[in-house]
């Protein structure tokens, strides 16, 4: 497995997170399959206790802390879902948590983290500014739990890949939302270690896709964060990225960027066809079910629906609109 992780790390993570994260359903979608002309199954990370996949990586990272680190408390930077996951897992394990967030994070995500008992610190207008505050607190003694670039976090997210292969062994392609790369790196690593025949495709928004820019450049690239329906995919990959960039370059078969109107259409498709609420970042994989993308994906597709944490007033406005960012 690339980056020094092996399949044993993912199986160990599966044991470590049991009781905090859940094994999520992989459900068929007759309506989306008929419209796309291929078999489509949806991996519903929306049913996790925090409404998103991030609980897997956070729970694994916290479970692996020693007693001294637990006593000092943990800190993380987050665009919302990672912070919520760290707060939830920390509460379950009796660990104090501080979550650093930028001013761009939607208020509903900030309040959800506070409700779980974590301290929230708002720092600047970018994810990098939030990470700088987390770094400062880590230098004072707290243990930093990175949102993606950490082997325990990656291994935790990789448990999704194990579940997909068990439930859908004939899958041709797994479509995964792409931001900092922890989710797709974990899934790709666990899947590719089991079978090389499955394609892994990452999807991100056209506005500020840091991993795509970094893969193209061959090194971490800073991007300007812009408002997007897929706000959970915002932020950079970190100037000292050690794990995910290398793993994405080595293991991901294709990265596709989609416009705002395609993200909105994907959110509407999941809601109106299947009744699933998904935030923009969670729904983005369904944007590849339209031509010309779907023609390259094979006949059996699993799409990771990674999260549902969106303000419902905003969600209803998006699904009722003609498309585009609001």
Q: What would the mean pLDDT of 98-116 be, rounded to a whole number?
A: 90
Sign of the CA dihedral 182, 131, 326, 112? positive
Burial of 147 (0-12, 13-18, 19+ CB in 10 A): buried
Q: What's the pLDDT band for 196 if we cut at 50, 70, 90?
A: confident
pTM of the predicted model, to two decimals? 0.92
Q: What's the pLDDT band for 324 if we cut at 50, 70, 90?
A: low
Per the annotation, the verdict on 54 as an active-site residue is yes
Q: What is the pLDDT of residue 322?
A: 59
Buried b (16+ CB within 10 A) or exposed e, 184-222: bbbbbbbbbbbeeebbbbbbbbebbbbbbbbbeeeebbe
Active-site choice (29, 214, 232, 306):
306
Contact 260, 321 (CB under 8 A): no
Residue 295 in this model has a pLDDT that exceeds 90: yes
Tens digit of pLDDT for each residue in 45-74? 999 999 999 999 999 999 999 999 999 999
Q: What is the pLDDT of residue 4?
A: 64
Q: What is the pLDDT of residue 234?
A: 84
Active-site choice (54, 109, 142, 308):
54
Q: What's the pLDDT band for 326 if we cut at 50, 70, 90?
A: low
Residue 205 in this model has a pLDDT that exceeds 70: yes
Per the annotation, the verdict on 43 as an active-site residue is no
Q: What is the pLDDT of residue 106?
A: 80
C-alpha–C-alpha distance, residues 245 and 227, integer Å = 24
Cis before 292? omega within 30: yes
Q: What would the mean pLDDT of 168-181 be, rounded to a whole number?
A: 97
Q: What is the pLDDT of residue 195?
A: 80
Residue 131 in this model has a pLDDT that exceeds 90: no
Contact 277, 311 (CB under 8 A): no
Q: What's the pLDDT band for 325 if we cut at 50, 70, 90?
A: low
Q: Return the number of other C-beta atoms located less than 10 Å from residue 70's C-beta.
A: 16
Q: What is the 3-state secondary structure (H, E, C) of the chain?
A: CHHHCCHHHHHHHHHHHECCECCCCEEECHHHHHHHCCEEEEEEHHHCCCCECHHHHHHHHHHCCCHHHHHHCEEEECCCHHHHHHHHHHHHHCCCEEEEECCCCCHHHHHHHHHCCCEEEECCCCHHHHHHHHHHHHHCCCEECCCCCCHHHHHHHHHHHHHHHHHCCCCCEEEEECCCCHHHHHHHHHHHHHCCCCEEEEEEECCCCHHHHHHHHCCCCCCCCCCCCCHHHCCCCCCCCCCHHHHHHHHCCEEEEECHHHHHHHHHHHHHHHCCCCCHHHHHHHHHHCCCHHHHCCCEEEEEECECCCCHHHHHHHHHCCCCCC
Work out the mean pLDDT of the chain and round it to a whole number: 93
Q: What's the pLDDT band for 243 if we cut at 50, 70, 90?
A: very high
Q: What would the mean pLDDT of 312-324 be, rounded to a whole number?
A: 83
Domains of the chain in start order, with CATH, are 2-52+150-320 (3.40.50.1100), 54-144 (3.40.50.1100)
How many residues are there in the chain? Answer: 326
Q: What is the pLDDT of residue 7?
A: 93
Q: Return the number of other C-beta atoms located less than 10 Å from residue 170's C-beta.
A: 10
């Amino acid at each position: 497995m690339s980056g020094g992780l092996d399949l044993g790390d993912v199986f160990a993570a599966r044991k470590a997170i049991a009781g905090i994260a859940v094994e999520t359903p992989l459900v068929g979608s007759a309506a989306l399959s008929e419209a796309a002309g291929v078999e489509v199954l949806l991996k519903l990370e929306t049913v996790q206790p925090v409404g998103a996949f991030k609980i897997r990586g956070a729970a694994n990272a916290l479970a692996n802390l020693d007693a001294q680190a637990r006593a000092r408390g943990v800190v993380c930077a987050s665009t919302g879902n990672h912070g919520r996951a760290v707060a939830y897992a920390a509460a379950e394990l009796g660990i104090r948590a501080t979550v650093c967030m930028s001013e761009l994070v939607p208020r509903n995500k900030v309040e959800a983290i506070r409700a779980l008992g974590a301290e929230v610190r708002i720092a600047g207008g970018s994810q990098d500014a939030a990470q700088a505050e987390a770094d400062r607190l880590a230098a004072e003694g707290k243990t930093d739990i990175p949102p993606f670039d950490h082997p325990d976090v990656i291994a935790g997210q990789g448990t999704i890949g194990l579940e997909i292969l068990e439930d859908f062994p004939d899958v041709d392609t797994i479509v995964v939302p792409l931001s900092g790369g922890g989710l797709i790196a974990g899934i790709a690593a666990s899947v590719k270690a089991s079978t090389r025949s499955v394609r892994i495709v990452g999807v991100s928004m056209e506005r500020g896709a840091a991993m795509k820019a970094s893969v193209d450049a061959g090194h971490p690239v800073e991007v300007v964060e812009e408002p997007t329906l897929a706000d959970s995919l915002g932020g950079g990959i970190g100037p000292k990225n050690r794990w995910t960039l290398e793993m994405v370059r080595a293991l991901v078969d294709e990265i596709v960027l989609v416009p705002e109107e395609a993200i909105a259409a994907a959110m509407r498709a999941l809601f109106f066809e299947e009744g699933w609420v998904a935030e923009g970042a969670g729904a983005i994989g369904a944007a590849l079910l339209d031509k010309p993308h779907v023609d390259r994906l094979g006949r059996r597709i699993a799409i990771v629906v990674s999260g549902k944490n969106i303000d419902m007033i905003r969600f209803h406005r998006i699904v009722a609109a003609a498309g585009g960012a609001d």
